[in-house]
Amino acid sequence: QGPLTATMLSSASPEEQKEMLGERLFPLVRSIQPTKASKITGMLLELDNSELLHMLESPESLRSMVDEAIGVLQAHQAEE
Amino acid sequence: KGAGLNPNAKVWQEIPQG
């Protein structure tokens, strides 16, 4: 299974594109943040596909986005 | 900070393989 590319995504429906990206992202997110990986992956999937493809190729970008998502989640939970 | 990240986003669910 090679890297996911924009060309591979372009042949799929918008819903399938998020599905394909989620399948690649989830294990990576889980390795960074095991407890909230499903929620964080859902949050990340709302971003642009081009940004998600970049994160799949750049562990540093992914990590910083996961950190940001954790911050957003914690702030949200603190408000409730 | 966190622009574009929505804490109410749908939770990702892995589709079982096979």
Over residues A4-18, the pLDDT tens digits come to: 999 999 999 999 999
- Separation CA B16–CA A66 (nearest Å): 24
User: Which of A38, A45, A71 lies closest to B1 in CB terms?
Assistant: A71
Which residues, at least 6 apart from A66, have a Cβ–Cβ distance to it below 8 Å? Answer: A29, A32, A33, A40, A44
Compute the average pLDDT of residues A53-71. Answer: 96
ipTM: 0.82
Amino acid identity at B13? Q
- Is any Cβ of chain B less than 8 angstroms from the Cβ of A63? no
Cβ contact A43–B15 (<8 Å): no
3-state secondary structure (DSSP) of residue B9: coil
